[in-house]
Amino acid sequence: MNENSILLKMQDISKSFPGVLANDHVTIECEKGHVLGLLGENGAGKTTLMNILYGLYQPDQGKIFVDGKQVVINSPSEAINHGIGMVHQHFKLVDTLSVIENVILGIPTNKAVLDFGPAKKKLEKLCKEYELFVDPEEIVWRLPVGKQQWVEILKALYRDCKVLVLDEPTAVLTPSESDQLCRAIRKITEQGRSVVFISHKLREVIEITDKVTVIRDGKVIGTVNTKEATQSILAEMMVGRPVTIERKARPIIKEHSAVLVMKNVNAFDDRGVQALKDFNLTVHAGEIVGVAGVDGNGQRELSECIAGLRKPSSGSITIQDKQVTNVIADPSFVGFIPEDRQKTGLVLDFTVAENLLIKDYKEKPYVKNGFLQYSEIKKHAEHMIKKYNIKSPSGDIKVKTLSGGNQQKVVIARELDAQPVLDVASHPTRGLDLGAVSNVHDILLNERNRGAAVLFISAELQEVIALSDRIIVLYSGQIMGELDGETADQFTIGQMMLGQTTEAKK
Amino acid sequence: MTYEIILDWLQASLRWSAPLIICAMGEIFAERSGIINMGIEGIMLCGALCGVAVSYYAQSQAVALFACAILGLVLGLIVAFLTVSRRTNQVVTGLMINLLAIGATNVIFSVLTVMRHKRATTFGALFPESMHRIPLVGPVLFAQPFTTWIAIFIAFIASFVLYKTRWGLNVRAVGDNPQATATAGLSVIKLKYQTLILSSIAASVAGGILTLASSGYFAAGGMTGGRGFIVLAAVVVGGWDPMRTMFACMLFGATDAAQLRLQTTESIIPTQFLQMLPYVITVVALTIMVKRSRVPKTWGAAYDGRRS
Amino acid sequence: MRTKEKIIKVPFIGDLIYSSGHTIVGILLGIFTGGLLIAISGVNPFLAYASMFRGAFNSLQSFSNVLVRSSPLLLGGIGVAIGIKSGVWNTGIEGYMYIGAIGATIVAIPELGLPPIIHILLCFIVAMLFAGLWGAIPGYLRAYKGVNEVTATIMLSYVAIYFTNWIVSGSPLAQEGAYFPMSLPFAKSSLLSILMKGTSLHPGPFIGLLMCIIFHIILKYTPFGFRTRMLGHNPFAAQYAGINSKKQIVITMVIGAMLGGLGGAIEVLGLKHRLYMEFVTGVGYESVAVALVAGGEPIGVMLSALFFSILKVGGATMSIETGVSSSMASIIIALCVLFVIGVGVADSKRLKKRDEKDPGKKTLSFKMEEAVK
């Protein structure tokens, strides 16, 4: 703390993309041995700023100083040479190579022939030093995500970085792994390195950082010493208004017949690893069942099995006593909001009107005598745009030109308008801004109130608690526990997400 | 009699497979880096003409092969510019390079009228004449033109480079995750240019060898007769592994040679059916092998450097 | 000099003009480079192109040659284009044409005593059936076994070529003692009639043009077309919307094959009147070129097929008059396509990029840079 030298300074950085000012005169500073938190909502411009630092984008304006010297960074290799290491939100590891191969990839040497001996020794020393243990010989795709994160960090440390940037590092970690990461970060800073910690999770930012810079809409809102900050102050800076996700009030639904019944379901993921193990679940009409858990514990396979996109290896899934065997393309039966709307939920090159009908395109009145009726399709689109408040001037524009929130509205309008008996919403708020998030929450709650059975999958604990009548916690393909939405608390759920069963059931 | 035919067939199998192997080794690197160089058929055709023509005028096979390599370099640069820098569709680019090559070789060949009835000198054997008389291995192995040995040697070199060198590691990385390779500080574009140029040089030289190691003639139009596509299939069947691909090439070379041998004998099977054989085997082999092969993840996809 | 960006709002046709702009630039570059090559070979390129133009438009007869030459390109081009729309590369057109022609040959040789219309239709149906079954092989392999369709279709084309060689030289259908391998002559009733005296104009090109229009309507206005386009744009979303994408892939590849087979049958029934070896050599590549320059749009196929057949027919005249090899036409075609895709792809990406980055823009608009002093 005594040393007050600034290790990294990005001054007055601006970067615009056509139509969007991603960074607007942003200045950040990070002292030697400090952790700087970079806080902001999705799309606030954090990642753009870091991509500029890493040489992936060129700023329109502004300067970068490392160790007091002005530098120009044109490529990742130059960034590495200036001592900048980065762990991206989406890992930049080559899955099919081993850990050690990934670590030495791109390090310039004059030896043409590979020799892993010294590299392995150095890596093992680093593993011990930071208590981030990985087997150098293991192929990366076989590692759990948490371990892959370690590989990314070790990769940067191996290159002897002065500044380590961590972009949303805890999104994929279990709480105990998060603690491990905190310890490693402290050791890193003790050696006089600096860490830039990007997150939109307030609690972690307060726990780990020394200073926090808050970014909103591409502008720096302010920088505060973490000691003087509280969650609510930061949250207010982040969104421009005070915010808390409160549990939503709801009427009690009388009718309670079982809609979705899953019995002893086993399923495998794309790699052939068992993703659901003897899974049993019942969702009733008029309730929201929240599925909590760290990403990649079977949520995806669960939703895909229900939607008929993935065949379970054994067990039975019924919806209103009908066996699920194939893809359900009947929106009046099941509404399915897939986790990746751009990849599976929408055809980006189709118009809004066409996207609203990708399941119903062959039904009357959209088809007459074997031909599509564009006037009907258009009418339907205009009706939906109004009803679901989709910000689109007409149905004739391509859906890829809409913002993420409005794209999601298109998916929701298509999936839920026919009033299905079962809604499966898989990470429906991911990547949306707060306004859009609350909109989605309201819609799902209305669905429940009208009597639909709702399965709500999310990795954000707060929203699961706020929205669910009942919460199940998924851990490596099994239900670790079930809690009542009214009484559930984050701590208990967090424990269960780690795979620890507690007594605190119900 | 049959014994001699079999010996002759084995000898020809290896000889036929040499250009396939050389071409395939280049293609493995291109595909490992995520680019399908579909144009190797056309580049091979150009190399075949270039080899015969230069060998005829310069009276030197070394000069001829060197000219083939230069030609491959130029064509490789064109393919790389289109598919990597301009991110054009790799299938279409390759097919159009093939169409271009057919047209270009026809035009050039029609100009070089003197060559029509002359044959270029072909390659000699690596081992002395006396060794050719050793039973079995003599005619099959030692009577091989030295290009056969070079092809096998190249396959081993390719295997070493791919798995044991830094550049090989970079190539393997870039095909599976170009973004990761870029953030590790390597130039994806440069690597892809390198592998595409390498594969084009290999294809062009293979084309030269195709003519110089056997007939010494160039036949306008269908000289390569789909061998470029057989190489593409061999790479897939070989699972993008140099050693396995080499054996796949030898298998295809053997069917090719068998078809030629049986054409001359009184056979109850029409020769056309034997000519089909390599292609049928390829389709069948593809069907059987495709499930087991590990396809490079960005196989055939364009890399957009701006998307990070 | 400074550039000022001017936004022109063109609500629907904007994209079309923009993309056809690339195509025209690409074609011009192709013709220009072809001219350079002609100049290198020692011929005045202007004279060569003039003779090419004369060769295509000099008389009704020469223009009818253009139309006749465009027939296989139209049908092959639309066959490839359907594949492109659904996301598969159906590159085996040449093989489908051979197999289709074989099918037609089998029923065209015997005198069946049928009225010409019926006999011709029978030939067409058998041709399409044969080619469709042939196309189902790579379709099935692609959809259900994951075999790369480009490799499979091209390999099968070679099989088809050798099979045709056998039909015309070793099979019972072959003409014995012919100076060149060929089949027996077709029955009179199976031959397509000549539409214009003194030319070889048969109804083939018009059938091709009609198919382009029909498939334009199918793709745009039917549920089948909707499915096909959805599959081509986003196979994941298509699966999620309940489409049996495997079946759809097989169907589109079979349709492409049937169109190819029809093209092959028209060639032999309308022009050759026998089956020969290698009667459509190179059309496989050219069909891909046609579909590509057309951007996969059936209406565009009409234009690009005509354009390429002008090059082909004119190329023959150019060869006679100036001594430039007629293969120069193939070179120019390949160059045109390479320039069209080389100019086009990256720019359309940029356009897309801007669309993505620019969610605020609510209309299809594009910017034209206008130089202002």
Distance CA B178, CA B95 (A): 25
Distance CA A369, CA C298 (A): 22
Per the rule left: phi > 0, alpha: psi between -120 and 50, beta: everything else, A39 is: beta
- Angstrom CA distances, B279 to A384, B150, B269, C367, stand at 54, 26, 17, 50
Q: Which residues contact C338 (CB under 8 A, 6 or more apart)?
A: B82, B88, B93, B96, B97, B100, C30
Chain A contact for C364 (CB, 8 A cutoff): yes
Which tokens hold the place of A242? 């005070």
Distance CA C210, CA C203 (A): 11
Angstroms from A80 CA to nearest CA on chain B: 7
Question: Residue A262 belongs to what H/E stretch?
Answer: strand A258-268
Among the residue ranges A160-164, A191-195, A388-392, B210-214, the one predicted with the least confidence is B210-214
Among the residue ranges A37-46, A421-430, C78-87, C164-173, the one predicted with the least confidence is A37-46
| A440 or C365, greater pLDDT | A440
Q: Across all residues in chain B, what is the average pLDDT?
A: 82
Each residue of B88-131: pLDDT tens digit? 888 889 989 999 998 888 888 877 765 555 666 666 666 676 76
* pLDDT at residue A64, as a whole number: 92
pLDDT at residue B243 above 90? yes
| A189 or A205, greater pLDDT | A189
pLDDT band at B160 (very low <50, low <70, confident <90, very high): very high
Distance CA A12, CA A14 (A): 6
Contact call for residues A285 and A449 (beta carbons, < 8 A): no
- Angstrom CA distances, A480 to B228, C226, C342, stand at 56, 44, 55
Q: What residues 137-196 of chain C have any CB closer than 8 A to a CB of chain A?
A: none
Prior bond to A365 cis, omega within 30? yes
Among A105, A111, A153, most B C-beta atoms within 10 A, so best to mutate, is A105
Cβ-based burial of A217 (10 A; exposed 0-12, middle 13-18, buried ≥19):
middle
- φ and ψ of A45, to 5 deg: 115, 10
Using CB atoms, pick whichever of C239, C354, C355 lies closest to residue A327. C239
Long-range (24+ apart) CB contacts under 8 A made by B114-121 are B115/B52, B115/B53, B115/B56, B115/B218, B118/B56, B119/B215, B119/B216, B119/B217, B120/B51, B120/B52, B120/B55, B120/B56, B120/B64, B120/B211, B120/B212, B120/B216, B121/B55, B121/B59, B121/B61, B121/B212, B121/B216
Chain B contact for C155 (CB, 8 A cutoff): yes
Among the residue ranges A31-45, A207-221, B50-64, B131-145, the one predicted with the least confidence is B131-145
Which tokens hold the place of A160? 């002897």
Which strands sit side by side in the sheet containing A334-337, from one edge to the other? A334-337, A422-426, A453-457, A288-292, A470-475, A478-484
Q: Across all residues in chain A, what is the average pLDDT?
A: 85
Distance CA A249, CA A260 (A): 24
Using CB atoms, pick whichever of A92, A108, A112 lies closest to residue B183. A92
Distance CA A489, CA A484 (A): 10
Using CB atoms, pick whichever of A51, A77, A94 lies closest to residue B180. A94
Chain C contact for B100 (CB, 8 A cutoff): yes
Each residue of A207-249: pLDDT tens digit? 889 999 988 878 898 899 988 888 777 777 776 655 556 777 7
Say what percent of chain B tops pLDDT 70: 80
Which tokens hold the place of A382? 């205009």
Which chain A residue lies closest to C361 (C-alpha atoms)? A401
Question: Residue A410 belongs to what H/E stretch?
Answer: helix A404-416
Chain A contact for C231 (CB, 8 A cutoff): no
Among the residue ranges B66-80, B92-106, B195-209, C351-365, the one predicted with the least confidence is C351-365
Say what percent of chain C tops pLDDT 90: 55
pLDDT band at B306 (very low <50, low <70, confident <90, very high): very low
Average pLDDT over residues A299-316: 89
Angstroms from B182 CA to nearest CA on chain A: 7
Each residue of A460-491: pLDDT tens digit? 777 888 899 999 998 888 898 898 888 887 77
- DSSP string covering B91-128, please? HHHHHHHHHHHHHHHHHHHHH-GGGGG--PPPPPBSS-
- φ and ψ of C144, to 5 deg: -105, -20
pLDDT band at A496 (very low <50, low <70, confident <90, very high): confident
- Cβ atoms within 10 A of the Cβ of A302, count? 28
Residue spans per domain, chain C: 19-361
Angstroms from C330 CA to nearest CA on chain B: 5
Contact call for residues A327 and C242 (beta carbons, < 8 A): yes
Q: Across all residues in chain C, what is the average pLDDT?
A: 84
Q: What is the ipTM of this complex?
A: 0.84
Which tokens hold the place of A472? 């199940």
| B190 or C176, greater pLDDT | B190
pLDDT band at C368 (very low <50, low <70, confident <90, very high): very low
Which chain B residue lies closest to A94 (C-alpha atoms)? B177
- Predicted TM-score (pTM) of the model is 0.82
Q: Which residues contact A36 (CB under 8 A, 6 or more apart)?
A: A28, A29, A30, A194, A195, A196, A197, A209, A210, A211, A212, A213
| C43 or A492, greater pLDDT | C43
DSSP state of B81: I
Distance CA A376, CA A395 (A): 11
Distance CA C204, CA C64 (A): 11
pLDDT band at A339 (very low <50, low <70, confident <90, very high): confident
Question: Residue A278 belongs to what H/E stretch?
Answer: strand A274-284
Q: Which residues contact B242 (CB under 8 A, 6 or more apart)?
A: B25, B28, B155, B156, B158, B159, B162
Give the torsion through C-alpha atoms of A66, A69, A72, A73, to 10 deg.
-20
Q: Which residues contact C355 (CB under 8 A, 6 or more apart)?
A: A398, A400, A401, C361
Average pLDDT over residues A123-147: 89
* pLDDT at residue B125, as a whole number: 67
Say what percent of chain C tops pLDDT 70: 87
Residue spans per domain, chain B: 2-125+141-297
Using CB atoms, pick whichever of A51, A105, A114 lies closest to residue B173. A105
* pLDDT at residue A89, as a whole number: 78
Contact call for residues A406 and A390 (beta carbons, < 8 A): yes
Cβ-based burial of C78 (10 A; exposed 0-12, middle 13-18, buried ≥19):
buried
Chain A contact for C349 (CB, 8 A cutoff): no
Distance CA A328, CA A309 (A): 8
Average pLDDT over residues C69-87: 94
Chain C contact for B226 (CB, 8 A cutoff): yes
Alpha helices in B118-187 (DSSP H): 137, 146-164, 166-176, 178-183
State the fold for domain B2-125+141-297.
Answer: ABC transporter involved in vitamin B12 uptake, BtuC (1.10.3470)
Task: Using the Cα atoms of residue A289, residue A294, residue A300 and residue A305 in order, give the sign of their dihedral.
Answer: negative
Contact call for residues B136 and A57 (beta carbons, < 8 A): no
* pLDDT at residue A461, as a whole number: 77
Q: Taking CB atoms and an 8 Å limit, are B86 and C353 in contact across chains?
A: no
Contact call for residues B250 and B261 (beta carbons, < 8 A): no
Each residue of C323-361: pLDDT tens digit? 888 889 889 999 998 888 887 654 444 444 433 333 333
Domains delineated in chain A: 3-239 (3.40.50.300), 258-497 (3.40.50.300)
Which tokens hold the place of B296? 């490079």
Using CB atoms, pick whichever of A20, A330, A344 lies closest to residue C237. A344
Q: Taking CB atoms and an 8 Å limit, are B99 and C285 in contact across chains?
A: yes
* pLDDT at residue C18, as a whole number: 53
Angstroms from A438 CA to nearest CA on chain C: 21
Which tokens hold the place of B115? 């060559």
pLDDT band at A4 (very low <50, low <70, confident <90, very high): low
* pLDDT at residue A445, as a whole number: 92
Helix (H, G, I), strand (E, B) or coil at A99: helix
Contact call for residues B99 and C285 (beta carbons, < 8 A): yes
- φ and ψ of C154, to 5 deg: -70, -40
Average pLDDT over residues A1-7: 62
- Cβ atoms within 10 A of the Cβ of B227, count? 28
* pLDDT at residue B120, as a whole number: 60
State the fold for domain C19-361.
Answer: ABC transporter involved in vitamin B12 uptake, BtuC (1.10.3470)
Each residue of A157-172: pLDDT tens digit? 999 899 999 988 876 7
Among A94, A103, A164, most B C-beta atoms within 10 A, so best to mutate, is A94
pLDDT at residue C16 above 60? no
pLDDT at residue B187 above 60? yes
Using CB atoms, pick whichever of A19, A326, A348 lies closest to residue C360. A19
- Angstrom CA distances, C164 to A363, B216, B256, C154, stand at 46, 28, 19, 15
Contact call for residues C118 and C79 (beta carbons, < 8 A): no
pLDDT at residue C92 above 80? yes
pLDDT band at B224 (very low <50, low <70, confident <90, very high): low
